[in-house]
Amino acid sequence: MAERLFIFKRFERFWHWSQAVLIVVMMLTGFEVHGFYTLFGFGDAAVYHTTAAWSLLTIWAFAVVWQFTTGEWRQYIPSLRNVDVMFFYYLFGIFTGASSPFHKSATQKHNPLQRLAYLAFLSFMSPIVWISGLLYLFYPQWPAWGVDNLLALEWIALFHTFGAFLVLWFFIVHVYLALSGPVAHLKAMITGWEDVE
Amino acid sequence: MLSISRAAIAAWTVGAALICASAFSATSPQPAGAVASSADPAAASGVPFNAATSAEFRKGASTADHSRFRELDKEFKSGPEVTKACLSCHNEAARQVQHTKHWTWDVVNPENKKRLGKKNVINNYCTSPISNEKDCMACHVGYGWKDGNFDFSSEENVDCLVCHDTTATYRKLPGDAGHPVYERKEFPPHSGKFVEAADLKKIAQRIGKSGRSNCGACHFYGAGGDGTKHGDLSSALKKPGKYLDVHMNAEGLNFTCTKCHQTSGHQVAGSRYQLPAAEKGAAHIRGKADAAPEACQACHGNTPHSGRLSLLNDHTARVACQTCHIPEFARDPIGTEMSWDWSTATKMGPDGKPVVTKDSAGRRAFDTKKGTFVWDSYVIPEYVWFNGKFDYKAVGDKIDPAQVVKINRPEGSPAGDDSRIWPMKVHTGKQAYDKVNNTLIVAHTAGEDDTALWHNFDWVKAIGAGMKAAGLPFSGEYGFVSTEMRWPIAHMVAPKEDALNCIQCHSPDGRMKNIGGVYLPGRDAKPWFDWGAGVLSVLIFLGVLIHGGIRYISTRKGV
C-alpha cells in the first residue's frame, strides 16, 4: 500500500537547490579563475564567483538558524550504526536489484552513510572552502589585520583549490547516488513528498 | 476668458523664445562653444560671469597684460637682458629657479648622499653633458653654461622665456650654451633649413604660464630627437587625441603638464630620482598639503573602481595604476629609441665620409658620429617591482665589463608595501668604457675642436678631453660594454577601454611572467597538485560510471 510522506520542507528544498546552483556556478567560475579553461572570461568569472560566494553565505546564515530553530540539525548527528549495512548495500546489494535497507521518514531523512557524508560536507569541506575563500577575498586587508606576515596567498589559494576539489568529488558521488535510487527520492527533493511502498 | 489665456500663452512663448535666443547668443561668439564650455570648470561650476565680456579674456589669463609694461617695451639684445627686466618686478623668481634641478642639474640622494642629477649621472643616450655643455645646455633653464666654470649664482643667467614663451618662436639650439637664436641661422647645419632670430621684445610681451610646448621643448625631445628618450613623452602630446592620453586629450580634459606636475615657487612636482611609486589612501582634498600631486592617486584615490569593477581595487596594493592603464608606450608613429650602440660610431660610409641613414619610418638608424640606433612604436613595457628609487651609475663609478651594466637599477621588492609593479621602458646599448680603470667614460662629443668626437672621429682624443673635464683618470685604453637603462612609464594614459584585460596578466605566459613574490590566480597553480587532484577526479568519475555500468547490467539480467 502506497503512502505519502512529507520529507523536505519548503525552506529545505529552497536551500538545497539554490546551494546546488551556486556551487555549480562557483565550481565553473572557480576552476576558470584557477586557469583550467576559459568560459566566462577571467574578469566575469571572478565577479560571478565572488557574487555567488556572498549569495551562498547569506543563504547559509539563514540555513544555520533554520537548522537550529527547527531541530533539524539532529539529522546530521553521526552514528556508526548500520553504516556497514548501507556500505555493503552499495557494494553488493544494489547490483542484485535489492531495495535500499534504509527507510526514509521525516525524522530520519538521511541514511547512515548520508549522515556521515553530509556531516563531512558541513563540518569539514565547507569550512576549508569558506575560511580560505574569505581570506583570499580579503587579501588586500591582510596588512591592516596584521596577518600579512603570517599568511601566504600562495598557500591560501592552494587550500582553497583543495577545498574546491573536495566539493567536486562530493558533487560527482552525490549526483550519481541520487540518480541511482528510485525516482521517488528525486521527487521528494523537488515537491517535498515521497511515495513510500 | 479664452483670449486671456491665449495671451498668456503667447507671452510665455515669446518670453521663452527670448530666453533661448539670448542663451544661444551668449555662447555663439565662442568657436566650438559646446566643447569649450563643458571643459571649462568655471562655467561648469556655475561661477557667475558676464557672458558678453567673457570672450575678451582667455581662461586662466593673467591679471597683468605684459605688453603694456614699460620695462618690456624695448629692443632686447640678449636673453639675460630680458631676465633683468623680468626680475625688476618678479624679484624672487630667479632665486626660486636657482633652487630647482632645472637649474642645478644636481640632485643629492637623501638616503646615501650620492650626487645625482643630469650633471652627475650617466645616461644611456648621449651619456654625459660634461665637456659638451655648449650643446647640451640648449635644455638648461639658463644662459651661458658652456663649460665647468658656469656661475650658478648669477640671477640674470636664469632663462625665464624658455618656460614662459607663449609664441612658440623661442628656440635654443645646440652649440649656443643655452642662448636663444639671436641671428638667423641654418639648422641643422648644411640642411638648408633656417631658424629665425627670436623677437625677444615680442616674446617678452606675450609671456604666460608654461604650456605643453614649453615643457615639451626639452622633455619631448630628450636625447636629441622627438620621442627618443622617455618612450611616454613625444611631440604627439602637444595635441593628443583621447586614444593617446585621456587627460591631455585636446578635445577633452586638455590637461597641461602642470595640471599634475603642480608647481609652486618654480618647484615642479615630480622627479625621476624620487618618484611617488606607491601612494596610499583616498584622493586628496583640495587645500590639503599634497606631497605628490603628480601621482594618479592624488586625484583618483586608491579605490578608483566602483560597481562591477570594484574587484579591481584589490590590485592597488600591489600594482601601479600605470601598469594596466598604459598598456603600451610610444603609441604613435613617432615612436621611441630602444637601443643606442656607440661601438659602431666613427665608422665611415663606403666613400670614407661620415654617413647618416634612416630606418623605414624615417628615424635615425645609423650616424657615423653616434653609432647604431633601434626604434620602436607601440611598445609593451617590462614590469618590475619599484619603490620609486633608482640606483644610478654616476660618472666615475666602477663597472664590471663582463656583465651588462645597469646604468640605473630600479629598487623595490614585493616584501612590505613600499613597492608596486611598474611598467618600464628598457633602453639597451653599448657604451665606451676605460678598460684599465673599469669605469664608464665621459667623452667630448660635441664641438668643432680637434678633440671632439663628432669633429675628428677619434675616440682616444675625445675620451681624454671628456675625462679631463670631468676630473677623472683615463688609461688610454677603451672598449665597449653592454648597457641597460630603465625609464618608468607614467604618461600616455590610455582610455579605460584600452586598459589591460585580466587575462593579459592572469595567465601563465602573460605580462607578469617575470614578476615574482606575488601569487597570481591563473598563473601560479601548482602543477603537482592540479595533476594529482585532476587524476583523482577522473578516477572518481570513472568509479561511479563503472558502478553504474555494473548496476545497469546486473539489474537488467535480474529482470
Q: Does the CB of A54 have a partner CB in chain B at under 8 Å? A: no
B69 against A149, higher pLDDT: B69
* Averaged pLDDT, B443-461: 95
Whole-number pLDDT of residue B491:
97
Mean pLDDT of the region B257-284:
91
A190 touches B: beta carbon within 8 Å: no
- Whether B535 and chain A come into contact, CB under 8 Å, resolves to no
Confidence of residue B13 (pLDDT cuts 50, 70, 90): low
ipTM of the complex in this document: 0.89
Q: A 64-123 residues with CB below 8 A of B?
A: 90, 94-97
HEC secondary structure over B5-34 = HHHHHHHHHHHHHHHHHHHHHHHCCCCCHH
pLDDT tens digits along A42-86: 999 999 999 999 999 999 999 999 988 998 888 888 777 778 878
Q: Please write the tens of the pLDDT for every residue from B287-304.
A: 776 778 999 999 999 999
Instruction: Return the domain boundaries, chain B.
Output: 70-118+128-224, 527-559
CB spacing of B522 vs A43 below 8 angstroms: no
| pLDDT reported for residue B135 | 95
The DSSP secondary-structure symbol of B257 reads H
DSSP state string for B47-90: ----HHHHTTS-TT--SS-GGG-GGGSS---SHHHHHHHHHTT-
Q: Which of A160, A172, A177 to mutate to test the interface with B (most CBs of B within 10 A)?
A: A172
Instruction: Determine the average pLDDT of the residues in A89-114.
Output: 77
> What is the CATH number for A73?
1.20.950.20
pLDDT at A148: 86
pLDDT of amino acid B56: 55
**DSSP for A102-153?**
---BTTB-S-HHHHHHHHHIIIIIHHHHHHHHHHHHTGGGHHHHT-TTT--H
Evaluate if residue B14 carries a pLDDT over 80.
no
Q: Does B536 touch chain A (CB under 8 A)?
A: yes
Residue A2: predicted pLDDT: 64
Nearest CA to B381 among B276, B513, B222?
B513
Instruction: Yes or no: say if B533 and B539 are a contact pair by the CB < 8 Å rule.
Output: no
Residue A143's pLDDT band (boundaries 50, 70, 90)? confident
pLDDT(B122) > 70: yes
**Segment among B29-33, B178-182, B404-408 with least mean pLDDT:** B29-33
User: Residue A42: which domain range?
Assistant: 3-196
With contacts defined as CB-CB under 8 Å, which chain B residues touch A36?
530
> How far A3 CA lies from chain B's nearest CA (Å)?
25
The distance of B558 to chain A (nearest Cα, Å) reads: 7
Could you tell me the sign of the dihedral formed by the alpha carbons of B271, B272, B273, B278, in that order?
A: positive
Least confident segment among A135-144, B59-68, B457-466, B509-518: B59-68
Q: Which residues in chain B are closer than 8 Å to A139, comparing Cβ atoms? A: 314
Cα B312 to Cα A140: distance, rounded to the nearest angstrom = 11
- What's the confidence (pLDDT) of residue B57? 58
Q: Please answer yes or no on whether B503 and A152 come within 8 Å at the CB atom.
A: no
Q: What percent of chain A shows pLDDT beyond 70?
A: 98
Q: Where are the alpha helices (DSSP H) in B267-342?
A: 296-300, 321-325
pLDDT tier, B557 (very low <50, low <70, confident <90, very high otherwise) = low
Lookup result for grid cell 523664445: B17
pTM of the model: 0.87
Q: How many structural domains is chain A composed of?
A: 1
Q: Which of B278, B362, B268 is nearest to B318 (CA)?
A: B278
pLDDT one-digit tens code per residue, A15-31: 999 999 999 999 999 99
Q: Give residue A197's pLDDT.
A: 61
User: Is any Cβ of chain A less than 8 angstroms from the Cβ of B558?
Assistant: yes
pLDDT of residue B559: 47
Instruction: Specify the pLDDT at position B18.
Output: 47
pLDDT of B45 > 60? The answer is no
pLDDT, average across residues B197-202: 97
